[in-house]
């Protein structure tokens, strides 16, 4: 005797080996024995053999029409065996009963299961709704398959055009459009980016990169609402100083300027003047909320997305010939040993004499700065600044125990043409990090950030500090040492037109300068303000995102530059293992199979190809230097 039973929702047919009151022991065709509960049994049979029952029943079940069965079935609960008898017109055999059970189970829209071998036909209204849903699903499956076929053939269906750009970063995976695209990706074996580009969703990789970034982080666009410009700081005292700024040619946000005087032989008095947008961007204002949403200016070759509205930048930028409010730090230092003899912070108005630009006075050398007789533009301004800057740098070097390593070449990117056109000509402009003018400006920015950090700490006013200890750089509200810069405390406060942290710190510095010991009660952020801690985390995260996008865009334009130059062979220097940095461009790549060389070892590479989507180049080792 054999038995048909259910096991985990599946039908099984096996031979009965032994029986008990509530259970059976059955044996499969392979000889394996198992114990089943009696209430799992559908029926017993003698013919055919168990291993042939289910295949025969499945064949027969495929011929049974679910709609006809539904019409034949009673409108109340029934046994499958009873319906089989009525359908076949005779007492059904094991195959017919099993086929009926299989057919009913395979048609849940028509029949609802009510237990072991029992079913109930779906009410007519519910059946019609279920059949409509099934038909809709069938049509959707056909449409999805049609779209996938079109994608594989290189055509973007009209229905996918409005949403195709969202497939990379913010797809709705429940839609037919996404499922069709995902199926095309799986079947084609290429990356989603390459498939979308081949379909013309974007005209080129540069458009894809920019659109993905802007859609993710600036979904409402990069424009600001209109800003009502006021004459901020009009009542501030005017400082009679001769100040100059020094920036790249493309800089529109002039954050800082320097002035200098000689109060006594051997001393230099330097004015470090910083644009002061904190007068307009006050905590909790609409401008503050918008600036906080951006956290920083976004930079990319040939383009930028300012942190502040352009009207506000124009109102506070230290443009030449214009009276502008400034937060000024005046320090008097001794040239012989770099000791700061006096420091004073003032809120005032200044008029910058000229906005000097790198590239126009780059002929300035250390030798010219050191030789009073050498021709030097703006010598009366540059030479005293250079003398004290050297002394300040020497103090930091002694604290650090070694000179600062700033001998790397940095590159600026100049784009001739629209920054969103890959055919625009790109120029890489090298500049030595330790060039005299860069070192001079950097030294005074370090001085201002150190002095103002000390001012906040001295008055108990919280600020956002940058510290470095044991090689780890982090931001916090504690005035801790920065080891690589070799200063006891350090904040970002000299770029308030470009970074939100500087803007926040500037508001705290203004309070400290005005209120002194009571500043902690008047500052925008009070001690232990939880929002200040939240701001640090948000800034770190967003500033990292902006930096990663800038790096990606620079890699893209490096690849374009290599192609435009027609370079087939380049020199590179080993960083570690198979990682190298090109000598002609700020580009790092991996060379598979590179032998082990010491760091800095020069190699020659053949360029085999460019990948503007993966932002890499394919190279092979030509020879070691």
Q: What is the pLDDT of residue 203?
A: 95
Verdict on whether the full-model pTM lies above 0.85? no
| Residue 625, pLDDT above cutoff 70 | no
Cβ–Cβ < 8 Å for 359, 249: yes
Cβ–Cβ < 8 Å for 302, 419: yes
Half-sphere exposure in the Cβ direction for 526 (13 Å, CA): 3
Q: What is the pLDDT of residue 310?
A: 92
Average pLDDT over residues 591-605: 90
Nearest-angstrom CA–CA distance, 326 and 273: 6
Q: What is the pLDDT of residue 200?
A: 93
Q: What is the pLDDT of residue 336?
A: 93
Instruction: Report residue 513 as tokens.
Output: 């300068």
44-51 long-range Cβ contacts below 8 angstroms, 24+ apart: 44/1, 44/2, 44/3, 44/4, 44/16, 45/1, 45/2, 45/3, 45/4, 45/93, 45/94, 46/1, 46/2, 47/93, 47/94, 48/94, 48/95, 49/2, 50/2, 50/13, 50/14, 50/15, 51/13
Q: What is the pLDDT of residue 9?
A: 80
| Residue 579, pLDDT above cutoff 70 | yes
Q: What is the pLDDT of residue 243?
A: 96
Nearest-angstrom CA–CA distance, 87 and 298: 75
To 10 degrees, what angle do helices 286-294 and 530-565 make? 50
Phi, psi of 470 (to 5 degrees): 55, 40
Cβ–Cβ < 8 Å for 389, 443: yes
Q: Is 445 helix (H, G, I), strand (E, B) or coil?
A: helix
Nearest-angstrom CA–CA distance, 388 and 262: 11
- Comparing 199 with 434, the larger pLDDT belongs to 199
Cβ–Cβ < 8 Å for 587, 555: yes
Q: What is the pLDDT of residue 432?
A: 74
Cβ–Cβ < 8 Å for 493, 452: yes
| Residue 376, pLDDT above cutoff 80 | yes
| Residue 514, pLDDT above cutoff 80 | yes
Lowest mean pLDDT among 182-186, 225-229, 430-434, 444-448: 430-434
Instruction: Report residue 514 as tokens.
Output: 């005005």
| pLDDT band (50, 70, 90) for residue 392 | very high
| Residue 474, pLDDT above cutoff 60 | yes
Average pLDDT over residues 391-415: 86
Please name which of 134, 130, 154 lies closest in space to residue 142, comparing C-alpha atoms. Answer: 134
* pLDDT tens digit sequence for 305-351: 999 999 999 999 999 999 999 999 999 999 999 999 999 999 999 99
Q: Is 201 helix (H, G, I), strand (E, B) or coil?
A: coil
Q: Identify the structural domains of the chain with CATH numbers, from first to last.
A: 2-122 (no CATH), 126-201 (no CATH), 243-548 (no CATH), 567-621 (2.40.50.140)
| Residue 430, pLDDT above cutoff 90 | no
| pLDDT band (50, 70, 90) for residue 624 | low
* pLDDT tens digit sequence for 269-294: 999 999 999 999 999 999 999 999 99
Average pLDDT over residues 472-494: 93
* pLDDT tens digit sequence for 241-264: 999 999 887 788 999 999 999 999
Q: Is 601 helix (H, G, I), strand (E, B) or coil?
A: coil
Between the alpha carbon of residue 274 and those of residues 212, 243, 257, 290, 493, the distances in Å are 35, 11, 7, 22, 9
Instruction: Report residue 57 as tokens.
Output: 């029943």
Q: What is the mean pLDDT of the chain?
A: 92
* pLDDT tens digit sequence for 145-169: 999 999 999 999 999 999 999 999 8
Burial of 364 (0-12, 13-18, 19+ CB in 10 A): buried
Q: What is the pLDDT of residue 361?
A: 74
Residue with tokens 């705290």: 508
Handedness of CA 348, 349, 351, 355 (dihedral sign): positive
Q: For the CA atoms of 474, 475, 476, 477, what is the dihedral angle to 10 degrees?
A: 140
Residue 615's region, left for phi above 0, alpha for psi from -120 to 50, else beta, is: left
Please name which of 109, 111, 113 lies closest in space to residue 130, comparing C-alpha atoms. Answer: 109
Q: What is the pLDDT of residue 409?
A: 81
Average pLDDT over residues 601-607: 92
Cβ–Cβ < 8 Å for 253, 306: yes
| Residue 362, pLDDT above cutoff 70 | no
Cβ–Cβ < 8 Å for 562, 617: yes
Handedness of CA 410, 416, 419, 421 (dihedral sign): negative
Helices (H), 115-191: 124-152, 176-188
Burial of 25 (0-12, 13-18, 19+ CB in 10 A): middle
516 DSSP assignment = G
Nearest-angstrom CA–CA distance, 453 and 461: 10
Q: What percentage of the chain reaches a pLDDT higher than 90?
A: 71
* pLDDT tens digit sequence for 54-86: 999 999 999 999 889 998 899 899 999 999 998
User: C-alpha angle 239/240/242, rounded to 5°?
Assistant: 115
Helix (H) or strand (E) holding 36: strand 33-37
| pLDDT band (50, 70, 90) for residue 133 | confident
| Residue 136, pLDDT above cutoff 90 | no
Between the alpha carbon of residue 520 and those of residues 72, 120, 458, 621, the distances in Å are 87, 77, 10, 61
Q: What percentage of the chain reaches a pLDDT higher than 70?
A: 99
Lowest mean pLDDT among 392-401, 432-441, 491-500, 525-534: 432-441
């Amino acid at each position: 005797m054999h038995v048909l039973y259910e096991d985990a929702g599946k039908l099984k047919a096996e031979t009965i080996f032994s029986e008990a009151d509530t259970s059976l022991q059955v044996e499969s065709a392979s000889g394996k024995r198992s114990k089943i509960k009696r209430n799992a049994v559908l029926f017993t049979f003698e013919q055919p053999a168990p291993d042939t029952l289910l295949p025969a029943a499945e064949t027969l079940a495929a011929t049974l029409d679910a709609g006809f069965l539904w019409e034949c079935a009673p409108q109340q609960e029934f046994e499958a065996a009873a319906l089989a008898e009525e359908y076949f017109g005779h007492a059904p055999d094991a195959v017919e009963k099993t086929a009926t059970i299989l057919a009913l189970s395979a048609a849940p829209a028509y029949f609802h299961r009510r237990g072991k071998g029992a079913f109930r036909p779906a009410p007519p209204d519910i059946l019609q709704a279920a059949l409509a849903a099934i038909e809709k699903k069938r049509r959707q499956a056909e449409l999805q398959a049609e779209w996938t076929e079109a994608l594989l053939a290189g055509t973007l269906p009209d229905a996918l055009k409005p949403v195709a750009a969202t497939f990379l970063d913010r797809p709705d995976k429940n839609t037919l459009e996404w499922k069709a695209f995902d199926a095309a990706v799986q079947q084609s074996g290429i990356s989603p980016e390459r498939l979308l580009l081949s379909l013309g969703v974007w005209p080129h990789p540069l458009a894809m990169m920019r659109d993905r970034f802007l859609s993710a982080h600036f979904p409402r666009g990069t424009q600001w609402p209109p800003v009502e410009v006021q004459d901020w700081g009009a009542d501030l005292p005017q400082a009679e100083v001769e100040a100059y700024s020094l920036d790249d040619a493309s800089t529109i946000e002039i954050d800082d300027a320097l002035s200098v005087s000689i109060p006594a032989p051997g001393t230099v008095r330097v004015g470090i003047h910083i644009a002061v947008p904190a007068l307009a961007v006050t905590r909790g204002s609409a401008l503050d909320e918008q600036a906080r949403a951006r956290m920083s200016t976004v930079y990319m070759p040939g383009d930028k997305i300012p942190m502040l509205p352009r009207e506000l930048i124009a109102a506070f930028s230290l443009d030449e010939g214009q009276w502008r409010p400034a937060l000024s730090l005046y320090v008097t230092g001794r040239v012989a040993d770099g000791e700061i003899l006096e420091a004073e912070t003032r809120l005032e108005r200044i008029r910058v004499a000229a906005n000097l630009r790198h590239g126009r006075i780059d002929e300035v050398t250390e030798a010219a700065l050191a030789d009073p007789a050498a021709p030097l533009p703006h010598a009366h301004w540059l030479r005293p600044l250079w003398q004290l800057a050297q002394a300040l740098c020497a103090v930091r070097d002694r604290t650090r125990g070694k000179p600062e390593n700033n001998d790397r070449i940095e590159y600026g990117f100049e784009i001739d043409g629209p920054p969103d056109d890959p055919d625009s000509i790109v120029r890489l402009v090298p500049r030595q990090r330790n060039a005299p003018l860069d070192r001079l400006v950097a030294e005074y920015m370090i001085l201002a950030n150190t002095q103002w950090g000390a001012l906040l700490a001295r008055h108990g006013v919280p600020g956002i500090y940058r510290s470095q200890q044991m090689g780890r750089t982090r931001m916090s509200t504690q005035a801790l040492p920065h080891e690589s810069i070799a200063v006891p405390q350090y904040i970002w406060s000299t770029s308030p037109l470009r970074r939100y942290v500087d803007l926040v710190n500037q508001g705290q510095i203004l309070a400290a300068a005005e209120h002194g010991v009571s500043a902690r009660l008047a500052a925008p952020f009070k001690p232990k303000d939880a929002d200040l801690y939240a701001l640090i985390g948000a800034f770190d995260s967003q500033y990292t995102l902006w930096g990663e996008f800038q790096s990606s865009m620079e890699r893209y334009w490096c690849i374009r530059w290599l192609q435009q130059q027609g370079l087939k062979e380049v020199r590179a220097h080993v960083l570690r293992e198979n990682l190298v940095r090109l000598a002609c461009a700020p580009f790092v790549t991996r060379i598979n199979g590179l032998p082990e060389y010491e760091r800095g070892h020069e190699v020659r590479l053949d360029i085999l190809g460019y990948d503007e989507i993966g932002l890499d180049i394919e190279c092979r080792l030509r020879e070691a230097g």
